[in-house]
Amino acid sequence: MAKAETKMKVMVLSGECGLSASEEEEEKQRMLEMHAIDVVTTMGPGYKGPNLHVIRGYYLAKAVDEVKIYVKSYREIWKKTDVLKTARLLHQLFREVVLYVGVENIVHMMTDNAANYVVASKLLMEEFPLIFWSPCAAHCINLILQDIGKLQSVCSVVEHASGIINILAHKNELRAMVTSREWVSSAYAKYSKGKKFVESVLDSLFLEECAIIMRMSEPLVRVLRMVDGDDRPSMGYLYDDIHHAKEEMLRRFQKRKAKVKPFIDIINNRWDGQLYRNLYAVAFWLNPQFQYDANIMDKHMSIISGLLDVLEKYAHGNLPLQSKITSEMKLFRNAKHDFGRASAINNRTFMPPGI
């Protein structure tokens, strides 16, 4: 048995297990192979290597035991290093970061949307009132799409067939294929899965439901791409993009409001209960792309209250400072002084607010 173990080591050292060395390790590999040859010569003539049953039996079991021993050596360490992500512990971790960075240097904090993170962040804002917190926008949009996926009307479509997107994207070609002489005479057409596939392709109601789901979800996917991308900071655009997505969904199904209502309700529930924050309202109001578009601003006059809440919060009760901020808001709103320059006007819709 000792010879068999040596033989196994030789196989590994000589590269017979299928692994190849990188260019940087070629020299090392050659040395290992020479050593392997030396080991083989010590085995003597007539040696037979272990068969398949021995390798997958004895040697595999031995390797598993070695791994178990290795894992066991770390168990004591787990007790010292692993912790539960309770709200209290997360609050302590966040607090350490805030104190290290400096409260005066932090305006906005964003975390996961899980309940323990929400509680921890609320505790942090109670201790440091000048810090704003919001859940991750991309995570919230994903949760909205997950909620939509749980609707019975959506579930039934998904269960009806897989590969919905491919069917929709190529439905004309697929219809032509499943009605062709080649398909009808092929073996695929006789299988149960093939018959179900044909039923799905030719089922006009199914295709219509698929199209509705895609047209309903597409505006939300665009928002997800925006908040999850690196093209521009999303803070100044999220408020408008969410409302624009809802308006687009209502416009697409204006004659079928009952169809779109469950989708809108899901968005409103997540937006009102989790994602909307006064800081998003401020970023929207301060974005020149929206500020000077009367059609947009007139629909969202309610954000002024959130804007004032943020400004008063940072004024610390300093009335002269509040008056100064109010006067500067008027300059910005009415495009006075530098806000009225030709360069500022020309770049309202092209240049991100931060720039």
Taking only the tens place, the pLDDT of each residue in 255-288 is: 888 888 899 999 988 888 778 888 888 888 988 8
φ, ψ for residue 271 (rounded to 5)? -70, -50
Amino acid at 118: V
DSSP helix/strand/coil, 133: strand
271, 292, 307 - which closes a domain? 271
pTM over the 0.85 mark? no
CA-wise closest residue to 208 among 168, 261, 245, 155: 168
143 and 259 housed in the same domain:
yes
Residues 6+ apart with CB under 8 A from 144: 220, 266, 267, 270
Amino acid at 241: D
User: Model confidence over 33-86: pLDDT tens digits?
Assistant: 776 677 667 766 776 777 777 777 888 888 888 888 888 877 777 666 676 778
Q: Please, are residues 223 and 245 in contact by the beta-carbon 8 Å criterion?
A: yes
233 and 324 housed in the same domain:
no
DSSP helix/strand/coil, 108: strand
231, 247, 271 - which closes a domain? 271
47 and 122 housed in the same domain:
no
How many separate domains does the chain show?
4
271, 304, 325 - which closes a domain? 271
* Distance spanning both ends of the chain, measured CA to CA: 73
DSSP helix/strand/coil, 158: helix
Rounded distance between C-alpha atoms, residue 180 and residue 201, angstroms = 13
Q: Please, are residues 10 and 40 in contact by the beta-carbon 8 Å criterion?
A: yes
CA contacts within 13 A on the Cβ side of 332: 15
The residue written with tokens 């039934």 in the block is 156
Amino acid at 273: G
CA-wise closest residue to 47 among 7, 87, 10, 107: 7
149 and 224 housed in the same domain:
yes
Domain interval for residue 247: 138-271
255 and 160 housed in the same domain:
yes
108 and 75 housed in the same domain:
no
Contacts by residues 87-91 (CB-CB < 8 Å, ≥ 24 positions apart): 87/115, 87/116, 87/117, 87/119, 87/120, 87/123, 88/120, 88/123, 90/116, 90/117, 90/120, 91/119, 91/120, 91/123, 91/124
10-residue mean pLDDT series, the chain (355 residues)? 45 43 64 70 70 78 86 73 79 91 88 87 90 87 88 77 54 76 81 78 72 86 84 82 90 85 89 83 88 86 86 83 87 87 84 75
255 and 332 housed in the same domain:
no
- 29 is written with which tokens? 């590999």
E strands of the chain, at which residues?
A: 108-111, 132-135
